[in-house]
């Protein structure tokens, strides 16, 4: 019956259609019924069509991470600094949070020598160590060997909007010829090996994490492989850090029309935003830039002699960058003492007094420090108080209490 059917239809598999059914296809075609031949051609076209627009080979994914929905607060930049090869995923952020708080990332498991990111970066201090840290006197952290860090800390918030490079001197930046120091992802391995931080090595770190229960599974969920690599450790932590968004201060609520600033705070805001006032905004943002940092680098008139081998000049070799450092975000100032790259000011009042009367001229001083002719902004005491009151409206207490950023109740292997 089937043979008869094939015979009846065999002639149909000829002519123009045979052109498509040549070679192995012809044999199959001739050995099958003609409708199958046509069906096969249609099927092949369909498959070709479906696959023709697919950039990658259509392999079945062995993991399927869930995209992480990072909400952009009102007035914040819409362009996020997220590398295309490390998009935020729920699994990546979860893993990154575990690793951020896990001292075994230092490649050790002895309780006395554990060190994690969170050893110094405390949520309660906007992810700095704070001036009241029981171990790091005056807020100056040191590594497992006791070597002090070259600089004091920067707040680890809103880094998903960082442009112009990371760290006080911007030495980790996208166009860096040193390709291993280009992005937030790279800062983890740098911390692992730095003598003034974990003083470990990347092999020890990844091997340690590899042998802890559940981590391989979490890496598989986040990156598709149970094999722990330093690259993926860095990617996971960077993902978590990019979720550390602080955008719910009193000033944010004021901008959103939810609260009103009091007269002193409002006056401080005007002083902050005007050239004839304190003129903070040219370096630190404000109207139009709610990050309260331009992420740019300035010599802000602290010194006349410079001997820090890690200033901005060390990155750019531009003499105008001698003694220049990133203008840090002013958000959460109340939690982030001591201030400046060298932690020289213990209180916000000291900072304000410096800008008021103690500016020092140097050849590389930024032109934005135009109050230098008076050695400062020369505000009256009540004006300084208003300026301080405004700065304190940038305090985001909900951020430092946000459970999504805190230590997980249980780390893998615990």
Looking at the Cβ atoms of 180 and 374, the one nearer to another protein is 374
Looking at the Cβ atoms of 86 and 299, the one nearer to another protein is 299
Residues that contact another protein, how many (by CB under 8 A): 50
**CA dihedral for 81, 85, 87, 89, sign (positive or negative):** negative
Smallest separation (angstroms) from another protein to the CB of 301: 10
Smallest separation (angstroms) from another protein to the CB of 277: 8
Residue 45 lies near another protein (rule: CB under 8 A): yes
**Helix crossing, 2-10 with 34-52: angle to 10°?**
70
Query: Quick check: bond before 224 cis, omega within 30?
Result: no
Smallest separation (angstroms) from another protein to the CB of 349: 24
Q: Which of 279, 180, 271, 276 is nearest to 234 (CA)?
A: 180
Would you say 221 and 200 are in contact if contact means Cβ atoms under 8 Å apart?
no
Q: How many CA atoms lie within 13 A of 35 on its CB side?
A: 3
**CA dihedral for 227, 229, 231, 236, sign (positive or negative):** positive
Looking at the Cβ atoms of 369 and 400, the one nearer to another protein is 369
Residue 30 lies near another protein (rule: CB under 8 A): no
Looking at the Cβ atoms of 41 and 392, the one nearer to another protein is 41
> From residue 268 to residue 297, what is the string marking binding to another protein with x (rule CB under 8 A)?
--x--xxxxx-x-xx--xxxxx----xxx-
Of positions 36, 75, 142, 306, contacts another protein by CB under 8 A: 75
How is residue 192 written in tokens?
A: 């692992």
Of positions 6, 30, 38, 196, contacts another protein by CB under 8 A: 38
**Helix crossing, 230-242 with 90-101: angle to 10°?**
100
Looking at the Cβ atoms of 16 and 380, the one nearer to another protein is 16
Alpha carbon distance 180, 377 (integer Å): 42
For 3, counting Cβ atoms within 10 Å of its Cβ (0-12 exposed, 13-18 middle, 19+ buried), the class is exposed
Residue 343 lies near another protein (rule: CB under 8 A): no
Looking at the Cβ atoms of 193 and 273, the one nearer to another protein is 273
Smallest separation (angstroms) from another protein to the CB of 295: 8
**Strand (E) or helix (H) holding 325:** strand 325-326
Of positions 1, 24, 48, 380, contacts another protein by CB under 8 A: 48
Tell me which residues touch another protein (CB under 8 A): 12, 15-17, 38, 41-42, 45-46, 48-49, 52-53, 75-79, 163, 270, 273-277, 279, 281-282, 285-289, 294-296, 318-320, 361, 363, 365-373
């Amino acid at each position: 019956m089937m043979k008869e059917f094939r015979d009846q239809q065999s002639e149909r598999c000829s002519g123009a259609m045979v052109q498509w059914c040549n070679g192995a296809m012809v044999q199959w075609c001739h050995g099958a019924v003609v409708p199958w031949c046509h069906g096969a051609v249609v099927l092949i076209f369909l498959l070709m069509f479906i696959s023709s627009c697919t950039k990658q080979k259509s392999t079945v994914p062995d993991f399927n991470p869930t995209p992480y929905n990072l909400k952009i607060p009102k007035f914040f930049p819409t362009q996020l600094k997220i590398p295309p090869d490390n998009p935020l995923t729920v699994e990546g952020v979860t893993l990154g949070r575990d690793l951020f708080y896990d001292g075994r990332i230092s490649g050790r498991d002895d309780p006395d020598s554990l060190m994690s990111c969170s050893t110094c970066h405390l949520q309660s201090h906007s992810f700095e160590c704070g001036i009241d840290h029981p171990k790091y006197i005056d807020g100056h952290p040191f590594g497992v060997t006791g070597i002090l860090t070259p600089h004091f800390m920067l707040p680890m918030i809103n880094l998903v909007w960082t442009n112009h490079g990371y760290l006080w001197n911007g030495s980790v930046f996208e166009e860096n010829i040193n390709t291993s120091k280009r992005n937030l992802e790279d800062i983890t391995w740098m911390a692992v090996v730095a003598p003034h931080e974990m003083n470990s090595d990347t092999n020890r770190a990844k091997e340690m994490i590899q042998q802890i229960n559940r981590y391989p599974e979490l890496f598989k969920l986040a990156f598709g492989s149970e094999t722990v690599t330093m690259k993926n450790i860095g990617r996971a932590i960077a993902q978590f850090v990019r979720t550390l968004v602080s955008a719910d201060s009193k000033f944010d609520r004021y901008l959103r029309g939810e609260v009103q600033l009091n007269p002193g705070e409002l006056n401080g805001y005007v002083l902050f935003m005007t050239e004839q006032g304190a003129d903070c905004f040219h370096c630190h943002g404000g109207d139009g830039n709610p990050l309260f940092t331009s992420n740019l680098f300035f010599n802000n008139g602290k010194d006349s002699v410079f001997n820090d081998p890690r200033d901005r000049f060390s990155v750019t070799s531009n003499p105008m960058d001698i003694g220049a450092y990133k203008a840090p975000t002013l958000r959460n100032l109340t939690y982030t003492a001591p201030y400046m790259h060298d932690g020289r000011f213990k209180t916000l009042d000291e900072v304000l007094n410096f800008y008021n009367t103690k500016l020092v001229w140097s050849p590389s001083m930024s032109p934005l420090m135009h109050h230098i002719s008076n050695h400062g902004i020369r505000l009256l005491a009540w004006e300084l108080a208003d300026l301080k009151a405004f700065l304190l409206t940038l305090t985001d207490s909900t951020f430092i209490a946000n459970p999504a950023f805190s230590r997980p109740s249980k780390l893998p292997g615990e």
